[in-house]
Structure 1
Amino acid sequence: MTSIFKKTLCSAVTILSCATQSAVAAPEIAWSQSGFDQPESVLVHPDEPLLYVSNINGTPTELNGKGYISLLSDDGSIIQHVWVNGMDAPKGMAMDADYLYVADMQRLHIIDYKQGKLIRSITAESSSMLNDITIDDAGTVYISDLTGGGIYRYRNNTLTQWISSNQLPHPNGLTIKDGALIVATWGEGMKEDFSTETLGGLVSINLETGTLTPYKSAQQFGNLDGIASAGDSLIISDWLNGKIFEFKNNAVQLLMETGKHSADISTKGEYLYIPMMFSQRIEAYKIQP
């Protein structure tokens, strides 16, 4: 056997080995549950084996009073299909030790999740489509306004607009990481079909000063919807194109393709939960955080 042939064979074996390792490391579906009504967001309880799913139950902008929240076990079994109702087009959610917060068009709903009861709804008069929510360590609630632009802040029982900037082209997904608010944007020039002239990216906002810093290595890579932490990584969903990305070590890479309309995701441990909005189902995947 010649040395050239040996090198070629070894290279082929190495490539095959790498490909096999990549296939093993790829996210594997753990379960899929159907029967929802335009599920836009899934939120995992940090301490209990529970999931919350927001069901728009209409169009994303429809004020029909038919929206609701479902309660699931983290193995995908439905505990209560209509757990809390009386909403319009509920989308992103976040929770603290006492309450579940839900973004619903111009309103922020506050739910006592221990009782399963909607106790208060607050209107952001100048908003258009409140979309995602996150909470910092001090208990301040942040809400994105996808079509109106800007970030709202709820604290001391008051809901006001905090930031509006052209550096946030249609802000959507929110998460807190390393003391900053990370925003996943949809992109510039949104059209009627929700496509854009320019794809969105990631922006960091200093919680104390409000200073915006776009991630230079994470721009124009998707019409971004949900964002969640997984170890040292950020996992981001592209709603329009049905892709899931990982942002790690200052680089974006494609993690998987799910099909269109993968919306507001959630993570816990080794699991990634994805609402497939127009397929009417929730999918859970094992990932490697």
Structure 2
Amino acid sequence: MKTNIQFSLVAFLSAAILTVGCGPQKPEVVEIVEEVKTPTLTLLWESADSLMTNESVLFDAESGNLYVSNIEGQDPLQKDGKGSIAILSKEGKILNPAWVTGLNAPKGMAISNGKLYVTDIDELVEIDIATAKISNKWKVDGAQFLNDVAAHNGTVYFTDMNTGKVHSFANGTISTISEGNKSINGIAVAADGTIYGLDASGLKKWNADGTTIVVNSQVTGGDGLVILGDGNFVASRWIGEIWFASDSTQTMILDTKAAESNTADIGYNAAEKIVYVPTFYKNKVAAYKLDY
């Protein structure tokens, strides 16, 4: 009887071990690491080098062309009447090197209600696009170095780098909407009307009450600003740098300092993700495909 009991016990334990061994196994945990893509700029074309001291490029989605502001001199504050606006195709061909002339040192540009608005030292200049004629000029009180321009829903916003002010123009009236922005330059407005700018403190955002918060404190002293959406931006520095930035990170995606090629007030073709770069003293526009 004892032998039978021992045999039965051994058989039971063997069956139990076999059952456990053949039972369902705990799945192995595999950690999936999402690859972070590094934004890049790839050169597509360069225009002819006859755009004299070009400071700003603006892509016009309606016509598919580019407006380029040309200071045509070494001094961005000289009132010499040599400044002009040129028109390029989006493939880089110079269609009209002197579409509008008689300006001084034109810089930032924006389109609103069929008009091209351009800053010109201490004036906001209005150009009728259909006729290619200067239709109006507004002297800005106390202005010293008017620079970048943006437009949203009929209001034109523009900066004064020397006075640290942001102005607005609407219904024939110029107002100052913000002060104390040291070396303010680039400005852009999101689809919801939120204003962003580049000054000595970095990339900043304006709240509805007029106060500001710094979104990114690393991208300082910026020139041109593009809002990509989803919290992402592209910003240029005149010295020859272009940055991809968010509220927490920043990556330099173009460095042309060694070539002594400046990266001034950039333009952007959102549909094709192309960044247009005015090279200032190199007298040409360069187009880059943005991949992010």
- Give the shorter-chain TM-score range: 0.7 to 0.9
Question: Which residue of the other structure, out of 61, 75, 79, is the alignment partner of 1:63?
Answer: 79
Question: Counterpart of 1:101?
Answer: 117
Q: Are the equivalent residues in 1 in contact too, given 2:183–2:221 (CA < 8 A)?
A: no
> After TM superposition, which residue ranges in structure 1, 4 or more long, deviate above 6 angstroms?
none
Counterpart mapping for 1:1-289 below 5 A: 26-33=40-47, 34-58=49-73, 59-137=75-153, 139-165=154-180, 168-177=181-190, 178-185=192-199, 187=200, 200-206=201-207, 208-215=208-215, 218-232=216-230, 233-240=232-239, 242-248=240-246, 250-259=248-257, 260-268=261-269, 269=271, 270-289=273-292
Question: Counterpart of 2:25?
Answer: none
TM-score (norm. length: structure 1)? 0.82
Shift of 1:47: 2.1
Give the 3-state SS of the residue equivalent to 1:224 in structure 2.
Answer: coil
Give the 3-state SS of the residue equivalent to 2:92 in structure 1.
Answer: coil
Q: What residue identity is the alignment partner of 2:267?
A: S
Change (3 A) 1:64 1:211: same
Q: What residue identity is the alignment partner of 2:217?
A: Q
Q: Are the equivalent residues in 2 in contact too, given 1:57–1:67 (CA < 8 A)?
A: yes
Shift of 1:214: 1.4
Shift of 1:61: 1.0
Alignment partners' CA distance in 2, 1:68 and 1:210:
34
C-alpha distance after superposition, 1:145-167 (max 9, x if no partner): 011211011112011222112xx
- Consecutive unaligned residues of structure 1, counting only runs of 5 or more, are 1-17, 188-199
Q: What RMSD in Å do the two structures reach over aligned CA positions?
A: 1.8
TM-score (norm. length: structure 2)? 0.81
- Consecutive unaligned residues of structure 2, counting only runs of 5 or more, are 1-34
Task: Give the structure with higher Rg (CA).
Answer: 2
Q: Are the equivalent residues in 2 in contact too, given 1:243–1:256 (CA < 8 A)?
A: yes
Alignment partners' CA distance in 2, 1:222 and 1:97:
32
Alignment partners' CA distance in 2, 1:28 and 1:95:
27
Give the 3-state SS of the residue equivalent to 2:287 in structure 1.
Answer: strand
Shift of 1:248: 2.9
Question: Counterpart of 1:192?
Answer: none
Q: Which moved more, 1:260-269 or 1:101-110?
A: 260-269
Shift of 1:46: 2.0
C-alpha distance after superposition, 1:230-256 (max 9, x if no partner): 34321100112x110011363222112
Question: Counterpart of 2:30?
Answer: none
Give the 3-state SS of the residue equivalent to 1:272 in structure 2.
Answer: strand
Shift of 1:229: 2.1
Q: How many residues align?
A: 249
Q: Are the equivalent residues in 2 in contact too, given 1:229–1:267 (CA < 8 A)?
A: no
Alignment partners' CA distance in 2, 1:69 and 1:114:
14
Give the share of equivalent positions with the same residue, in percent: 31
